[in-house]
Structure formats: C-alpha cells, structure tokens
A = this chain, B = another copy of it.
C-alpha cells in the first residue's frame, strides 16, 4: 500500500462512493469493472477514477479493469475500515437514539461502547444494548474502553461545552452532528462535521437557481 505523497481531501471524499459501488456490484455478481464504467455510473471521468485509485497503489489490470472484491477491500483498508473502532454517543436524545438504533454501526465495523446523557431516566439503563452513563463518567469509561470516535448529538447550546469535554478526555475524534461550528483551539482532536442545515441550504440554493423566473 505505497502512497504517492499526501492524498487530496477531494480524493478521500470520493473513496466511500467507490466502496459503495463495489459493494453493489459485488451483490449483483460482477467480478470486474473498468474505470470507464465506474466513471459513467458515478458521473465522473475515467481519468479521475484512475488518478484516485492509483494514489494507493496499482489495483487494476490492463485490458481487464479492476477486480470488484479486491478494489473494495483495498479501499476499505486505505480508509482504515478493516480495523474496528470504538464509538461513543454524546447525547442520547432523539438524534442520538436514532443513530444508535438505525445506523448499523456494528456491520460497518464500529463498536458502540457507550452513550452519555444527562437525562436521569436513561442513566444506568441500556439503549439498544448500549449502556447509558452521565457525561461526568466520560473519562472513567474512556479509561476502561478507549473511545476512538465520539458522536456529538447534543443540543446546539451544549455543543461547544461537550466538545471541550471530549477534547479534554483526549478522545481523538469527534463526529459533529450539531449545527454548530465547534472551533476547538488545540488541533489535537479531529473533527468531521455533518451539518444538516448546510446541506439543506445548499439544496435550496440550487433549487432557487433552477427556478425559471430567476
């Protein structure tokens, strides 16, 4: 898995789409596919597909294309998905609970080790098999079962405070589902934002742009 210098964020953001396509093709019984076909299905150019894939080594064969199963597992390895990651959910309200029950963490190789919430009715119980603790137990839980990724699904008003707490606990990564820019000072913790409103606003922009009158 030789790398050719740092890989651009654009390329990284496309890897999940390749992986998803390979899984679909695999389910449909295909065993190989060309860069041209990948490009056509995903709406990109064959050049771009090959440029992306060769960042991590040579996965294809001239005259044949890419092995579907091989490409899938190679890309999963590149993204670190072959390794199981421990996940904790900070905020077991509506969004947190929904994720916990429906995101199929387990089958994607994530292990949900704990949820944290201030709701007294939840603490000490278990949600979908995951124990719920008070946030003050974060360090204690992390000491026993190291948390790799903390899902931040608390209300907007608590987001920054909780993020600081996660940073202080030295949990390495935050998956931020609140509509808040966390702006953490130290760049020790890796943050990925899923801003629902940003996405909806983007859609609204393109919708308005397409209006005949405007």
Contacts and interface: CB of A to CB of B under 8 A. Distances in A.
A168 interface: no
Contacts of A204: 79-81, 85, 149
A110 to B, nearest CB: 8
B198 A17 contact: yes
A37 to B, nearest CB: 13
Contact of A80 (B12, B173, B190, B208): B208
Contacts of A13: 198, 202
Contacts of A59: none
Contact of A16 (B85, B93, B197): B197
Main secondary structure of the interface of A (DSSP, over half): helix
Contact of A175 (B12, B108, B200, B205): B200
Contact of A20 (B41, B95, B179): B179
Return the 6 tightest CB-CB contacts between A and B, nearest first: A80-B208, A192-B203, A16-B198, A16-B201, A79-B205, A173-B207
11 contacts: A41-B183, A79-B208, A80-B207, A80-B209, A110-B200, A149-B204, A149-B207, A192-B202, A192-B203, A194-B194, A194-B196
Interface of A: 12-13, 15-17, 19-21, 41-42, 78-81, 83, 85, 93-95, 98-99, 101-103, 108, 110, 148-149, 172-173, 175, 179, 181, 183, 190, 192, 194-210
